[in-house]
Amino acid sequence: MPTITILTAILWHFPLVVLVGLASYLVYQKRRSSSVYLLDFECHRPPPSYRFPTATFHELIYLDDRVDPESRAFLIKIIQKSGYSEETSIPPPNAVNPVMPSITHARDEAASIIFATVQNLLSVTNISPRAIDVLICNSSMFSPTPSLTAMVVNEFKMRSNVLSYNLSGMGCSAGIVSIALARDLLKARRNSLALIVSMEVLSLNWYGGKIPSMLVTNCLFRMGGAALLMSSRNHDKCSAKYELQHLVRTNKAREDRCYACVYQDVDPDNKTGVSISKAIPNVAGETLKANMVSLAPLVLPYSEQVRYVWSAIREKVRIIGRKDAYMPNFKKAFKHFCIHAGGKAVIEAAEKNLGLSKEDVEASEMTLHKFGNTSSSSIWYELAYLETKRKIKTGDRVWQIAFGSGFKCNSAVWKCISSQHTRTADAWKGKIKTDLIKEKNLL
C-alpha cells in the first residue's frame, strides 16, 4: 500500500517536475553567454582594368587644368612615398580627366564591390541569402537612399524581416564597429547568422582643390571591400574558422586634436575634401596605447600584467621616467597582428608602440603595397594574406587593430578554431611572390 501511494504521488507531481525542469533549462540557456563565430570572409579583387599605376596618376594630374603646379608637385611627392605597387585600383570614373563626382558612379562602384564579394562568400559557405538574420554595411563617406543594405536585400532577395543596419562617418575603424554590433545582436538573437560588408566608395571623394592636407586623400585611398559571415549557432563551431574572444573600442573624440585629425570640410574655394593632419601618426600611437591599457588585462598572462603594473607605479612616483616604463610583450598573447594599412607612418607607429618585428607587420605592409589603403576592409586583406601564406594554425590568436576618424582605435581578438578551414584567398592569388625578400625590398 505505501508503495502504491508513493507511485501515485510521483505520477501526480510528474508534470510539475517536468515543467520546473524545463523552465530552469530555458532560463539557463537564455543566461548562458553564447559564443560568436566567424564562418568565413571574402575580400574583393578589382578587375585588372581598374589598376591605377603611377604613370596613370601622373598623367591624370598633369592633364587636369584645375591642379596647380604646387599641388601637382605635392601629389607626386606623396605617391612616391606611399609604397604602393602598380597593382592598386580605383574605380574607372576617377581615372578620367576631369574627374566628375557622380551619385550614379558611386552607386555603380558600391554595387560592383558588394554584389561580387557577397556572392563569392555565400557560394563558398553554401549559405542561402534567406538564411541571413542580420545585415550590416559600413561605408564612411557614402550613405545613399535607399541604403546600401537595401541594395543587398534587393539584389539577393533576402527575407523581409532581416535586421539591417548602415554605419557611416566612422572612418577606417568602422569594420570592427560592425563586428561589435553583430556580436551584440547575435548574442541577443541566438542561433542566428550575420552578414557584414565593409567597404568605401571613392567616386564621390576626389578632391580638386589646393589644400595639401586634403590632397593627401587623392593619393591614399584605393578600391576594395570585404564581406564576412558571423554566427551564434552552436553547430557552426565545427565548420567555423575563428571564434571571437574580445572586442575593445577606444574613442578620443573629446580631445580637440584627436577630433580634428581626420576631418571633412570645405576649403576657401568651397570644394569639399577630407583633411588628414600631420599629427595622425602621434594621435594613432596615443590612441593605440589607450586601447592597449583596456585590452591588456583580458589577454596578457599574469606575469606580464604584474610587470606592467609595477612599472606604472614606479613611473607614477617618478622612480623611473616614461621612456624607461615597461611595455607589455603582446607577442605572449598573440601569434599574429593585423594592423590597419592606413599608411606607412601608421604601420610604423604601431610597430614601434607594440615592439613588433618586421615579420609581425608583414601582412600589413604587403596589403598596403598591393592594395593600398582600402579603409575598413584592410584588416581582412591582411588576415587573408596570413591564411594564404599558411601561417594561421589551430589555436593561434589574431589581433586586428583598426584606426578611424574621431579619433578611434578598435581591437578585435580572434582565436583560430581549425586551420583546416583556412584557404588561399582569391584576392591574393598571383600577388604573393615566392621570393619574399625581393618583395619586401619594393616597400
Check residue 437 and give its pLDDT. 43
Query: What's the pLDDT score for residue 246?
Result: 96
CA distance 337 to 400: 6
What is the bridge-based pairing of β-strands 193-199 and 225-231? antiparallel
Q: How far is CA 235 from CA 238, 322, 394, in A?
A: 6, 49, 18
pLDDT given for residue 421 in this prediction? 76
What digits encode the pLDDT tens for the residues 160-193?
Answer: 999 999 999 988 999 999 999 999 999 999 899 9
Q: What is the pLDDT of residue 262?
A: 92
Residue range 214-247, pLDDT digits in tens:
998 888 999 999 999 999 999 999 899 999 999 9
Phi, psi (5° rounding) for residue 261?
A: -65, -40
pLDDT score, position 97:
83
The greatest distance separating any two alpha carbons of the chain, rounded to the nearest whole angstrom, comes to 108
Bridge partners of residue 107, in order along the sequence:
none
pLDDT, tens digit, for every residue of 83-114?
899 999 999 998 888 888 889 999 999 999 99
**Could you tell me which residues are beta bridge partners of residue 401?**
339, 411
Q: Judge whether residue 434 has pLDDT over 90.
A: no
pTM for this entry? 0.88
pLDDT at residue number 156: 97
Distance, CA of 181 to CA of 136 (rounded, Å): 8
Active-site residue list: 172, 336, 340, 369, 373
